[in-house]
């Protein structure tokens, strides 16, 4: 259940058997959700956090006119709303992008971890801080990268994150995202995304079709994106 | 030194005398910086976090062409880079927007807090999660709000945050920000910001001139911004 989470955490630091057990025993229940299900609603009171075991989910915010901004995508092994442990209610909603399997981790079990396992606490705190780093990189994309660079950057980000949990090949990965959802990540219109994907494909950088991302030229793609994986904090550190 | 931090934390939960002392004793040194000084550089190894005592600072990321995106603004009482405690190196730089007084909090003192004071640890973790919530709201602004609504939203956000630490009057606050820096927050050009400020003023919503924000009609301004203060997490909670 927590193998992909362990892969992610161990890319950064060592975990003791006691810490691993605490994580395993954190999961009270496993749930299956269909695609396009909003399973956490903005503002509702939460007493558990959700670990993504299989599938893709996103966090999103809507304006009153229905315009949606996706604020982050989560891949298996991500502790999707670990931040709800301290926030209690979220400022955004969380929706599955594909059929998903999730682990429900009651907040009282997380409280117990903070009372007894300070190193693991710091590691979990860290992982919410990495989520914030992803938000900042998206702010840079939305505010300053042009449509081509912005779209290229998202494909690079997902390649790197999926590689850590063994879900990407060197030449690409599955991405069950519609063009509309992609537009909602990128702050663009559907038409603009469609045109941008065409340019990326014709320039031999990346091809996104049929829910599959095929990286045609990773180096050139990363250059167009100004992609620097430092913001993913994948290097080893001591907590 | 930490009075504004205490105001912010106590808006959310109670602090024991022991916790308050731990925070006071966390500050090893106080430094004064002039305006426009980048005092944390992207990628450098950090062994301390910075508490903002006086002045305004921002976190920013640059593209290679020099385009800058400000990812957040910090006001007195903010633990500006508390997230560097777990990240060790930052994916962005931090710069003063005005002359500032900051407290330097060595990471080993924060480690000690996580080893001995779990409730205070959860409160500090929470405050980094609120920083992430601000990032998400900016993603929504940058991706989906139009220039008018986006600019209005930033003025509403700062009014609410400065009120908590006693630095805003009901009709406005000082904001030592140039028009260029405002553009770098909003992902707009200087010209676009200038035009937008004019519209906001002429519509009787808000006037930003001479480093002073004057709220002309708060209700109407918040309506244009679709401002909902829930993302600031100012309500009481139990950690």
pLDDT digits (tens, 9 = 90+) for A117-136: 999 999 999 999 999 999 99
Residues 6+ apart with CB under 8 A from A5: A23, A51, A77, A78, A79
Of A69, A132, A143, the CB nearest to B131: A132
Q: Which domain holds residue B158?
A: 142-232
Under 8 Å CB pairs connecting chains A and B tally to 141
Residues of A in contact with B136 (CB under 8 A): 59, 61, 71-72, 91-92, 135
Please give the pLDDT value at position B46: 96
Residue A96 maps to a domain: yes
Q: Is residue B11 part of a domain?
A: yes
Whether B171 and B201 map to the same domain: the answer is yes
Instruction: State residue A166's pLDDT score.
Output: 93
> Is residue B238, in this structure, part of any structural domain at all?
no
Last residue of a domain, one of A137, A170, A196: A137
Nearest to A82 by CA among A55, A114, A54, A118: A114
Q: Is residue B24 a part of any domain in this protein?
A: yes
Do A10 and A122 belong together in one domain? yes
With CB atoms and an 8 Å threshold, state whether B145 touches A239. Answer: no
Q: Do residues A122 and A191 both lie within one domain?
A: no
Q: Do A114 and B133 touch (CB under 8 A)?
A: no
- My answer on whether B174 and B123 are in the same domain is no
Establish if A239 belongs to a structural domain.
Answer: no
Q: pLDDT by residue (tens digit) across B23-68?
A: 999 999 999 999 999 999 999 999 999 999 999 999 999 999 999 9
Chain A residues near residue B71 by CB distance under 8 angstroms: 136, 139-140
* Segment 151-170 of chain B within 8 Å of chain A by CB: none
Domain boundary among the residues A137, A166, A185 is at A137
Render pLDDT for B194-231 as a digit per residue (tens, 0 to 9): 999 999 999 999 999 999 999 999 999 999 999 999 99
The reply to whether A74 and A154 lie within a common domain is: no
User: Can you give the pLDDT at residue B238?
Assistant: 76
Q: Answer yes or no: do A109 and A161 share one domain.
A: no
B87 and B59, same domain (yes or no): yes
Number of domains making up chain A: 2
Same domain, B31 and B58: yes
Mean pLDDT of B102-129: 96
Query: Minimum mean pLDDT among A10-14, A181-185, A197-201, A217-221: which range?
Result: A10-14
pLDDT tens per residue across span A82-118:
999 999 999 999 999 999 999 999 999 999 999 999 9
Work out the minimum CA distance from A126 to partner chain B, whole angstroms: 5
| A contacts of B131 (beta carbons < 8 Å) | 132
Round to whole Å and give the CA distance between A227 and B223.
Answer: 37
B30: tokens are 């106080």
Taking a C-beta distance cutoff of 8 angstroms, is the pair B42, B63 a contact?
A: no
Burial classification of residue A7, based on how many CB atoms lie within 10 Å of its CB (0-12 exposed, 13-18 middle, 19 or more buried): middle
Residue from B144, B160, B184, B193 to probe the interface with A (highest A Cβ count within 10 Å): B144
> CA nearest A40: which of A63, A58, A56?
A58
* A29 lies in some domain: yes
Task: Tell me, yes or no, if B117 comes closer than 8 A to chain A by beta carbon.
Answer: no
Q: Are residues A37 and A103 in the same domain?
A: yes
Q: What is the pLDDT of residue A239?
A: 77
Residues of A in contact with B138 (CB under 8 A): 139
Q: Taking chain B, what is the end-to-end CA distance rounded to the nearest angstrom?
A: 24
What is the least distance, in Å, from the CA of A78 to any CA of chain B? 16
b/e burial code for range B93-102 (CB count within 10 A of at least 16 → b): bbbbbbebeb
Contact B136 A92 (CB under 8 A): yes
CATH number (domain holding residue A164): 1.10.10.10
ipTM of predicted complex: 0.96
Residue in chain B closest to A61 (alpha carbons) equals B140
Q: Is B226 within a domain?
A: yes
Maximum C-alpha span of chain B: 55
A142: nearest CB among B68, B115, B143: B143
Candidates B65, B92, B129, B131, partner chain A, best to mutate (most A CBs within 10 A): B129
Residue B2 token pair: 């930490």
Residue finishing a domain among B104, B137, B170: B137
| CATH code for position A39 | 2.60.120.10
B12 found inside a domain = yes
> B115 and B195 share a domain?
no
Say what the pLDDT of residue B17 is: 96
Nearest CB to B129 within list A83, A143, A230: A83
pLDDT in tens, A54-82: 999 999 999 999 999 999 999 999 999 99
Whether residue B67 is found in the same domain as residue B131: yes
CB B233 to CB A135 under 8 A? Answer: no
- What is the average pLDDT value for chain B, to the nearest integer? 96
Enter the tokens of residue B125.
């973790």
Question: Residue A33: what pLDDT?
Answer: 98
Q: Is B64 on the interface with A (CB under 8 A)?
A: yes
Task: Give residues 19 to 58 of B whose Cβ lies within 8 Å of A.
Answer: 43
Q: Say whether both A48 and A120 belong to one domain.
A: yes
Nearest CB neighbour to B135, from listed A111, A123, A135: A135
pLDDT in tens, B177-191: 999 999 999 999 999
């Amino acid at each position: 259940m927590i193998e992909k989470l362990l892969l992610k955490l161990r890319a950064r630091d060592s975990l003791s058997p006691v810490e691993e057990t605490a994580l395993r025993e954190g999961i009270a229940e496993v749930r299956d959700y269909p695609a396009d299900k909003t399973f956490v609603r903005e503002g509702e009171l939460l007493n558990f956090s959700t670990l993504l075991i299989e599938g893709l989910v996103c966090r999103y915010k809507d304006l009153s006119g229905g315009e949606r901004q996706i604020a982050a995508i989560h891949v298996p092994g991500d502790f999707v709303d670990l931040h709800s442990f301290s926030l209690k209610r979220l400022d955004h909603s969380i929706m599955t992008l594909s059929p998903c399997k999730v682990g429900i981790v009651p907040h009282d079990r997380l409280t117990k971890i903070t009372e007894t396992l300070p190193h693991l606490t710091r590691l979990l705190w860290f992982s919410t801080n990495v989520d914030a780093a992803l938000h900042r990189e998206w702010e840079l994309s939305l505010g300053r990268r042009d449509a081509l660079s912005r779209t290229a950057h998202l494909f690079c980000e997902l390649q790197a994150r999926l590689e850590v949990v063994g879900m990407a090949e060197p030449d690409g990965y599955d991405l069950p995202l519609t063009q509309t959802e992609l537009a909602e990540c990128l702050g663009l219109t559907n038409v603009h995304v469609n045109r941008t994907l065409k340019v990326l494909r014709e320039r031999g950088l990346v091809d996104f079709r049929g829910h599959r991302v095929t990286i045609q030229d990773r180096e050139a793609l990363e250059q167009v994106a100004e992609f620097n994986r430092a913001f993913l904090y994948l290097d080893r550190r001591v907590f």
